[in-house]
Amino acid sequence: MSIADGVVSPREFPTNRGGLCQKGWTSAELLTSPARLTTPLVRRDGDLRPAGWDEALDVVAAKLRALRAEHGPDSVGVFGGGGLTNEKSYLLGKFARVALGTSQIDYNGRFCMSSAAAAGLRAFGLDRGLPFPVADLGRADAALLVGGNPAETMPPFVQHLRGARLVVVDPRRTATAELATLHLQPAPGTDLALALGLLHTVVADGHLDEEYLAERTTGFDEAWRIAATWWPERVERVTGVPVADQRAAVRLLAEAENAVVLTGRGTEQHAGGTDTVSAWINLALSLGLPGRRYSGYGCLTGQGNGQGGREHGQKADQLPGYRKIDDPAAREHVKGVWGVDDLPGPGRSAYELLDALGQPGGPRALLVFGSNVVVSAPHSRHVADRLAALDLLVVADLVLSETAAVADVVLPVTQWAEESGTMTNLEGRVLLRQRAVAPPEGVRGDLDVLQGLATRLGQPAERFPTEPEVVFEELRRASAGGPADYSGVTYRRLRDGEALHWPVVAGGPAGRGTPRVFLDRFAHPDGLARFVPVEHRGPAEPPDAEYPLQATTGRVLQHYQSGAQTRLVAELNAAEPEAYVEVHPDTATRAGLAHGDRAAVVSRRGRTLARVRCVPSMRVDVVFLPFHYAGEGRANLLTNPALDPTSRMPEFKVCAVRLETV
Amino acid sequence: MRNVVVVGYGMAGARLADEVRRRDPGGERVALTVLGDEPHPAYNRVLLSSVVAGSLTPDAVRLHAPDWAAKHHVDLRLGGAVTKVDRTRRVVHVDDTEVPYDALVLATGSRPWVPPTPGLLDGNGALAPGVVAFRSLDDCARIVAEASPGTPVAVLGGGLLGLEAARGLAGRGCLVTVVHPVGHLMERQLDAGAGRVLARTLQGLGIEFRLGTPASRYAPGEGLELADGTHVPADLVVVSAGVRAETALAEQAGLDVDRGVLVDDALRTSDPRVHALGDCAQHVGTVSGLVQPAWEQAAVLADRLTGVAPAARYAGTTVVTRLKARDVDLAALGDAHVEVDSPDAEVLCFQDPARGRYAKLVLRDDRVTGAIVLGAPDAAAAIVQLYDRGLPAPTDRLALLLGRALPAGAAEASPADLPASAVVCRCNTVSKGQLVTAWRAGATSLSAIADATRASTGCGGCRDAVCGIVDWLAASQPQSA
Task: Tell me the nearest-neighbour CA distance from B85 into chain A, angstroms.
Answer: 32
Q: Please tell me the distance from the alpha carbon of residue B6 to that of residue B20, in angstroms, as a whole number.
A: 11
Give the ipTM of the model, two decimals please. Answer: 0.90
Kindly report the average pLDDT of chain A as a whole number.
95
One-letter identity of residue A520 = D
A580 and A596 together in one domain? yes
CA distances B279 to A219, A455, A493, B247, B290, Å, are: 33, 74, 70, 10, 7
Helix axis angle for A243-254 and B377-389, nearest 10°, is 130
Residue A228 and residue B60: Cβ atoms within 8 Å? yes
Say which range, A22-31, A617-626, A631-640, B286-295, has the weakest mean pLDDT: A22-31
Residue B385 and residue A156: Cβ atoms within 8 Å? no
Confidence (pLDDT) at B406:
55
Q: Please tell me the distance from the alpha carbon of residue A119 to that of residue A121, in angstroms, as a whole number.
A: 5
The reply to whether A395 falls in a domain is: yes
Q: For residue A38, give the 3-state DSSP assignment.
A: coil
Give the residue from A253, A278, A300 where a domain finishes. A300
CA nearest B50 in A: which residue?
A204
Confidence (pLDDT) at A123:
98
A387 and A460 together in one domain? yes
The reply to whether A519 falls in a domain is: no
Q: Per-residue pLDDT for B409 more than 70?
A: no
How many residues are there in chain A?
662
The reply to whether A252 falls in a domain is: yes
One-letter identity of residue A464 = F
Residue B55 and residue A204: Cβ atoms within 8 Å? yes
A160 and A292 together in one domain? yes
CA nearest A576 in B: which residue?
B429
Residue B428 and residue A25: Cβ atoms within 8 Å? yes
Q: Per-residue pLDDT for A405 more than 60?
A: yes
CATH says B2-110+244-306 is which class?
alpha beta
Beta-bridge partner residues of A323:
A319
Q: What is the mean pLDDT of residues B343-353?
A: 94
A11 and A127 together in one domain? no
A21 inside 8 A of chain B by CB:
yes
The reply to whether A194 falls in a domain is: yes
Confidence (pLDDT) at B410:
44
In A509-627, which ranges are continuous DSSP H helix? 570-575, 585-590
CA distances B92 to A311, B249, B253, B262, B278, Å, are: 60, 10, 10, 20, 20
Residue A225 and residue B457: Cβ atoms within 8 Å? no
Helix axis angle for A468-479 and A86-94, nearest 10°, is 70
Give the residue from A282, A300, A318 where a domain finishes. A300
Higher pLDDT among residues A156 and A165, named by residue: A165
CA nearest B461 in A: which residue?
A159
Q: What is the mean pLDDT of residues B99-117?
A: 96
Q: For residue A451, give the 3-state DSSP assignment.
A: helix
* Phi, psi (degrees; rounded to nearest 5) at B337: -85, 65
Q: Count the domains in chain A.
A: 4
Contact B78, B40 (CB under 8 A): yes
Q: For residue B66, give the 3-state DSSP assignment.
A: coil
Say which range, A20-29, A319-328, A638-647, has the weakest mean pLDDT: A20-29
Q: Please tell me the distance from the alpha carbon of residue A573 to that of residue B353, in angstroms, as a whole number.
A: 54
Q: What is the mean pLDDT of residues A22-49?
A: 92
Instruction: Encode pLDDT of A535-571 as tens digits.
Output: 999 999 999 999 999 999 999 888 888 888 888 888 8
The reply to whether A205 falls in a domain is: yes
> Which CATH architecture does the domain made up of B131-241 adopt?
3-Layer(bba) Sandwich (3.50)
The reply to whether A21 falls in a domain is: yes
* Phi, psi (degrees; rounded to nearest 5) at A660: -135, 155
Contact B228, B213 (CB under 8 A): yes
The reply to whether A604 falls in a domain is: yes
8-state DSSP, A372:
-
Q: What is the mean pLDDT of residues B73-81?
A: 93
Q: Please tell me the distance from the alpha carbon of residue B120 to that of residue A403, in angstroms, as a whole number.
A: 80
Which of 66-95 (A) contact B at CB < 8 A?
none
Torsion angle in degrees (nearest 10) through CA of A294, A298, A301, A302: 130
A301: left (phi over 0), alpha (psi -120 to 50) or beta: beta
Q: Please tell me the distance from the alpha carbon of residue A356 to that of residue B371, in angstroms, as a whole number.
A: 51
A243 and A328 together in one domain? no
Give the residue from A466, A485, A516 where a domain finishes. A466
The residue ranges of every structural domain in chain B are 2-110+244-306, 131-241, 329-405, 415-476
Residue A584 and residue B459: Cβ atoms within 8 Å? no
A226 and A137 together in one domain? yes
Say which range, B88-92, B267-271, B461-465, has the weakest mean pLDDT: B461-465
Percent of chain A with pLDDT over 70: 100
Q: For residue B125, give the 3-state DSSP assignment.
A: coil
Task: Tell me the nearest-neighbour CA distance from A457 into chain B, angstroms.
Answer: 47
A260 and A137 together in one domain? yes
Torsion angle in degrees (nearest 10) through CA of B386, A272, A615, A379: 120
Q: Enumerate residues 6+ apart whose C-beta is below 8 A from B180.
A: B157, B158, B162, B209, B210, B211, B212
One-letter identity of residue B6 = V
Which of 125-164 (A) contact B at CB < 8 A?
151-152, 155-159
Residue B461 and residue A224: Cβ atoms within 8 Å? no
Other residues' Cβ atoms within 10 Å of the Cβ of residue B272: 10
Q: What is the mean pLDDT of residues A296-315?
A: 91
- CA proximity to A116, closest of A295, A232, A284: A284
CATH of the domain at A629: 2.40.40.20
- CA proximity to B325, closest of B43, B45, B50: B50
The distance from CA A483 to its chain's CA centroid, rounded to whole angstroms, is: 20
Fold agreement (B329-405, B415-476): no
A104 and A130 together in one domain? no
Q: Please tell me the distance from the alpha carbon of residue A395 to that of residue A371, in angstroms, as a whole number.
A: 9
The minimal CB distance from B428 to the residues A22, A224, A589 is found for: A22
Q: Please tell me the distance from the alpha carbon of residue A465 to that of residue A644, in angstroms, as a whole number.
A: 37
Q: Per-residue pLDDT for A302 more than 80?
A: no
Beta-bridge partner residues of B275:
B105, B268
- CA proximity to A259, closest of A208, A296, A299: A296
Percent of chain B with pLDDT over 70: 97
The minimal CB distance from A156 to the residues B378, B389, B458 is found for: B458
Other residues' Cβ atoms within 10 Å of the Cβ of residue A7: 9
Candidates A203, A220, A237: best to mutate against B (most CBs of B within 10 A) is: A237
Which of the following CATH numbers is that of domain B415-476: 1.20.1050.10, 1.10.10.1100, 2.60.120.10, 3.40.50.300?
1.10.10.1100
CATH says B329-405 is which class?
alpha beta
How many residues are there in chain B?
481
Q: Give B91: exposed, middle or buried? Use CB within 10 Å, 0-12, 13-18, 19+.
A: middle
CA nearest B55 in A: which residue?
A204
A4 and A94 together in one domain? no
The minimal CB distance from A203 to the residues B60, B322, B454 is found for: B60
Strands A409-412 and A421-424, bridge-based pairing: unpaired
Q: Enumerate residues 6+ apart whose C-beta is below 8 A from B460.
A: A19, A156, A158, A159
Residues of A in contact with B454 (CB under 8 A): 20, 22, 25
A257 inside 8 A of chain B by CB:
no
Task: Tell me the nearest-neighbour CA distance from A244 into chain B, angstroms.
Answer: 7
* Phi, psi (degrees; rounded to nearest 5) at B219: -130, 125
Task: Tell me the nearest-neighbour CA distance from A575 into chain B, angstroms.
Answer: 7
Q: Per-residue pLDDT for B411 more than 70?
A: no
Instruction: Encode pLDDT of A494-528 as tens digits.
Output: 999 999 999 999 988 878 999 999 999 999 999 99
A12 and A53 together in one domain? no
Confidence (pLDDT) at B481:
41
The reply to whether A485 falls in a domain is: no
Beta-bridge partner residues of A614:
A583
CA nearest B45 in A: which residue?
A229
Candidates B387, B428, B431: best to mutate against A (most CBs of A within 10 A) is: B428
Beta-bridge partner residues of A432:
A422
Domain that holds residue A15: 1-32
Radius of gyration of chain B (CA): 30
The minimal CB distance from B427 to the residues A204, A231, A557 is found for: A557
A127 and A172 together in one domain? yes
Omega before A577 cis (within 30°)? no
A575 and A612 together in one domain? yes
